[in-house]
Every structure is written in structure tokens, then in C-alpha cells.
Structure 1
């Protein structure tokens, strides 16, 4: 799992039937200081997140099980973050 920020939406009129009815978002991973890092990923939304929100992203088989174990999903938003507190 990692924290990310939603930076956009992805529209696909033709997609695998396991993805029909899902919302696809573009998410950029965040460091512990909430700074963007790495390349953006297309992520399936399970909680109704929107652009600009900080989210929790699950990856791998954990993400796939949220929808259906037969869906071609590798990353899914599983939570919207209200606040982050880091103590060093």
C-alpha cells in the first residue's frame, strides 16, 4: 500500500469486461512528506475519490479482491485520507 494524490481521470469506452462500471483515476505516489515521486499510475477507484484528494492505494492481489478475483486489476484506491501525521 502507499499514499497517493489523484491528478486526473482516465476515460476508456472499450475495456475488459471485468472493468466495466469502474472509475479509473490517474494517481501519483507520495513520500512520507507528501511530496510526489515516480510515475503516475492508472488506478481503479472503489471509494469515490476525486481529483486533488490524497488516497490510500492497494496493489497486487489485494487490489484485485476488492472487485472480483478474476478482474484484471493491479492497483485500487481503498481509502480517502483525511490527515497524515508523521513523527520523526
Structure 2
């Protein structure tokens, strides 16, 4: 699992039948900034992920990838590689708050 920021959405009107009705998001993985460890910083990569929770642009989410993405009840029959499994409320590192949704 890793933390990612929702940066956009993807619309596909033609897709396999099992994917109909699922929201697709553009997500960008983030990591703890290594020097000060007081902020999140991008890894420079992007993914398309299935959203089953209702995340929106600007939200930080917990993402799982690979075969683990097909282990939720909603995604077990989908041909996917990444899924949002949580919406982040707060990130704390070294007793400090790096991110808070509030």
C-alpha cells in the first residue's frame, strides 16, 4: 500500500462489462520528504486507479496495487491493477503532523 494524491479523473465510455459503473481516478504516489520529514512530496509517477469510496480531486488516498487490488469484495472480478482502499485523514511522522485533511 502507498499514499497517493488524486489529481484527476478518467472517463471511458467503452470498456469491459465488469468495469461499467466504476469511477476511474488519476492518482500520483507521494512519499515523505526525506530531509526534513515534514511534508509529502510527489514521486513523479501517475496511475489510473478504481475508486470504490468516493474520493475526489485533491484527496490523499491509500492505494493498493497488483494482485492485492483484486482482493476487495467490489473488485474481485475486475481486470484492474490499482484500487483506492482508503481516504487519508491524517499523516503523522516522528510525532509531527505531515498532512491533515481538516
| TM-score above 0.5 | yes
Output the CA distance in 2 between the equivalents of 1:39 and 1:68: 23
Output the CA distance in 2 between the equivalents of 1:4 and 1:69: 22
The runs of 5 or more residues in structure 2 that have no matched partner are: 34-39, 96-102
Normalized per residue, the structure richer in strand is 2
After superposition, what is the alpha-carbon deviation per residue over 1:24-55, rounded to whole angstroms, capped at 9, x for unaligned? 00000001231111321000001100000000
Structure 1 runs, 4 residues or longer, greater than 3 Å off: none
1:76 match: secondary structure = strand
1:62 match: secondary structure = helix
Residue 57 (structure 2) pairs with residue 51 (structure 1): yes
| Root mean square deviation, CA, Å | 1.4
TM-score, length-scaled by structure 2:
0.80
TM-score, length-scaled by structure 1:
0.92
Using the TM superposition, give the Cα deviation of residue 65 of structure 1 relative to its aligned residue in structure 2, in angstroms: 2.2
The runs of 5 or more residues in structure 1 that have no matched partner are: none
2:68 match: secondary structure = helix
Output the CA distance in 1 between the equivalents of 2:81 and 2:50: 9
Match of 2:94? Answer: 87
> Which residue of the other structure, out of 49, 52, 70, is the alignment partner of 1:64?
70
2:15 match: secondary structure = coil
1:18 match: secondary structure = helix
Match of 2:3? Answer: 3
Output the CA distance in 2 between the equivalents of 1:78 and 1:57: 6
- The count of residues paired between Structure 1 and Structure 2 equals 88
